[in-house]
Amino acid sequence: MNITYHEQNRMFKLDTPHTSYCIGIVDEENFLGHVYYGRKLSEDNLTYLMRTKEAPFVPSENNRDRTSFLDTFPMEYTGNNLGDYREGTLAVRTLGGHTGVSLSYVSHRIYDGKEALEGLPATFGEKESCRTLEITCEDQVLHLQVILSYSIFADTDAIARSVKIVNAGEEAVYLTKVLSACMDMDNEEYEMMTLHGSWARERGIQTRRIMKGKQSVCSVRGESSHQEHPFMAWKKKSTTEEEGEIYAMNFVYSGNFLAQIEADQFGSIRAVMGIHPDNFCWKLEAGESFQAPEVICMYSAQGIGGMTRNFHDLYREHLIRGIYRNKKRPVLINNWEATYFEFNTQKLLDIARQASELGIEMLVMDDGWFGHRNDDNSSLGDWQVNEAKIDGGLKSLVEEVNKLGMKFGIWFEPEMISPDSELYRAHPDWAIQIPGRRGSLSRNQYVLDLTRKEVRDYVYDMVAAVLHSANIEYVKWDMNRQLSDFGSYGLPADRQGELLHRQVLALYEMQDRLTREFPNLLLENCSGGGARFDSGMLYYSPQIWCSDDTDAVERLSIQAGTALIYPLSTMGAHVADCPNHMVGRVTPFATRGYVALAGTFGYELDVTKIPEADRNMIPQQVAMYHQYNDLVRQGDYYRIAHYAENHYYDCYEVVAKDKSEALITYIQVLNRPNFHSRRIHIPGLDPDKTYVIENTEDWPEIEQTQYRGDALHYAGINIPPIRGDFQGRLLHLKAR
């Protein structure tokens, strides 16, 4: 890990454990250009790669073709409306109505460690484990300073990038676009990899060839969304799970975003990522600054899996915080699919008593405990206990649950307000809305305008009062609709374009306050399932509810797409009842347990009503979780097979960091009418070690129980035929 500036060549070089990233300064105007990103290099002078000696040359030598230079030069961060016709990263509007921006290098500093981003989630690192480069550029007409930050880490191949804009002029400017990262490079017939979906089918992996023009994913819904995800990668066609080159960007942000790759006329691509410019306009007064969120850049020469494991390591060690960061989570049971809104104290205690006898460690009371909420049409914003349901009050209920040896958790939706609520009747102007227009309802609710301090303080105080009233050790923070009607009674006319970003900042402020006031709380974020499963939220909560779809087969694709970037320890995953409430499918109880084992693990059912055979299996599943969770939570993840691609089976593996053990999960979705075994290859093991199958009782058909690591990887192992659909198996390997 090192960052150097070579003054003679005017080139910056950032070296992570296995990669190099190079930036150059050219011409007397000090244009800042992207030079190289890829495998680690010993060479310190690569400025020739920017083609400044080719026509049209640099402006000091050929200013008659200045626009041709600007439209071809590999910009490190680009301005607007002066001749670079590719996607820009910074755009402004002056009080005079002009939009031109041009940036030139001014200075830089290199320091150990990494400074926090004010009001924003971001990766962190101590002085001995992290190093940062800050490059200051300036528009000399507007006196607008742009500070580009790059941080690298000693233990992973990641580069954390962010941008800060400082108005050093004498009058205000309007920022109409501030993206956080830009990367220009030659197009080597790359394919673009993105994550797409909808409610209950989030983060499906999609790969397509990069064509001429712009291809993007984005959200303008006020959150990162079910539909798209703030991630993109581009890879060579030959790249596989474990071999080949891949580049990636992931946005540490939970609101509107743009992730785009543009292939131009000269065979180059420009990749950009940041806050979506639609409905964004930030008034920057003289002397003020604007901090853009962080983008994580990643390069791997070890295929898609290498990229994945780098993201996992970075987020586990440098993003997730709190006491549960490296800690096993309690096995919980949530009453949502068990009861929906139809519950009372006695019903909850019946579930808790049965669950505690089976080894389940926490009861979570979901929606319907407050106001007069007996369905999803009322009471959001009225965060007082409904004692008609919770007889004796919340404190009494929690004490009874605690007597059973169980923890207690509770559900909130703090960002929302129902038209049928005391809060809305008292403060209808507290909802986000456009004056004079009929508001757009979703799930019969509006969104609270958290940009107003009085609103977020009022809501936060109500939530905190509930948490102080009883021994509550877990909170599920939900958000069940996306934003619309972008207007705020708390912002002046010339700042209405700040609403969406300020709303995200307000959310971050509230969750930061919550985790500081209740440091021992286990916080799980949720948004209609997985609509806000992003790295920004992971800074505040170590886990996020992965999807409202709890069907084991659907979860295979959802969890595979999520694990492409995020550690298994972050994925909220439960064993649900069957027929599944979402898709109606019936899968074996054991298989549902195997699939949930790849996440935080818990139950989403009425344990008092399920078949006795299923109920009797719960202690075994809880024991399975405790046996393997340290490995699942901390190990290296490998995708062996994708059900979404082959349509028959799914297989993934977690290997201990020291290669001492591995757990392979094999799920046969559809059986084929033959008795031929299926061969799988198991990567990530120590080729020189012998591995023994520990759980031979689960594999009566296995002829051999010990294998060399290289044989398992390159020759593979045969999975015996399994009769039936939706069948699961675990293979636990231990090094001798």
User: Residue 246: which of 19, 526, 3, 548 has the closest Cα?
Assistant: 19
**Residue pair 119/509 in contact by the 8 Å Cβ criterion:** yes
User: Residue 455: which of 410, 499, 517 has the closest Cα?
Assistant: 499
DSSP, residue by residue, 413-444: -TTEE-SSSHHHHH-GGGB---TTS----BTT
Sort residue 470 into left (φ over 0), alpha (ψ -120 to 50) or beta: beta
Sort residue 397 into left (φ over 0), alpha (ψ -120 to 50) or beta: alpha
Q: Which two tokens stand for residue 447?
A: 């969104």
CA distance 175 to 649: 49
Upper half-sphere CA count for residue 685 (Cβ side, 13 Å): 29
Known active-site residue 44 = no
Type of residue found at 144: L
CA distance 569 to 592: 17
CA distance 361 to 618: 12
Name residue, tokens 């150097």. 4
From start to end of 197-343, where are the E strands? 204-209, 213-219, 231-236, 246-252, 257-263, 268-274, 282-284, 289-291, 294-300, 332-334
Type of residue found at 84: D
Burial bucket for residue 226 (CB in 10 Å: 0-12, 13-18, 19+): buried
Cis peptide before 56 (omega within 30 of 0): yes
Name the pairing type of β-strands 231-236 and 246-252. antiparallel
From start to end of 433-503, where are the E strands? 446-447, 474-477
157, 366, 548, 614: the catalytic one is 548
Name the pairing type of β-strands 543-545 and 571-572. parallel
What contacts 24+ positions apart, CB below 8 Å, involve 512-521?
Answer: 512/540, 513/460, 514/460, 514/463, 514/464, 514/475, 514/540, 515/321, 515/322, 515/540, 517/464, 518/464, 518/467, 519/322, 519/323, 520/323, 520/473, 521/467, 521/472, 521/473, 521/474, 521/475
Q: In a 3-state reduction of DSSP, which class is residue 361?
A: coil
CA angle 291, 317, 632 (to 5 degrees): 130
Kindly give, in sequence order, each residue whose CB lies less than 8 Å from that of residue 702, ignoring residues fewer than 6 positions away.
Answer: 693, 696, 720
Q: Give the phi and the psi of residue 385 in degrees, each rounded to 5.
A: -65, 135
Q: In degrees to the nearest 10, what's the CA dihedral of 437, 438, 440, 444?
A: 150
Q: Which two tokens stand for residue 336?
A: 């949502």
User: Residue 536: which of 202, 292, 178 has the closest Cα?
Assistant: 292
Between the alpha carbon of residue 625 and those of residues 319, 578, 699, the distances in Å are 25, 21, 19
Burial bucket for residue 43 (CB in 10 Å: 0-12, 13-18, 19+): exposed
Q: Which two tokens stand for residue 672?
A: 């084929």
- DSSP H or E segment with residue 132: strand 130-139
157, 264, 367, 478: the catalytic one is 478
User: Residue 187: which of 263, 132, 250 has the closest Cα?
Assistant: 263
Give the max Cα distance, the chain: 83
CA distance 343 to 340: 8
Known active-site residue 478 = yes
DSSP, residue by residue, 47-112: GGGG-TTSTT--TTT-GGGHHHHHTTS-BSS--BSSS--SPPSEEEEETTS---B--EEEEEEEEE
Instruction: Give the catalytic positions in this structure.
Output: 478, 548
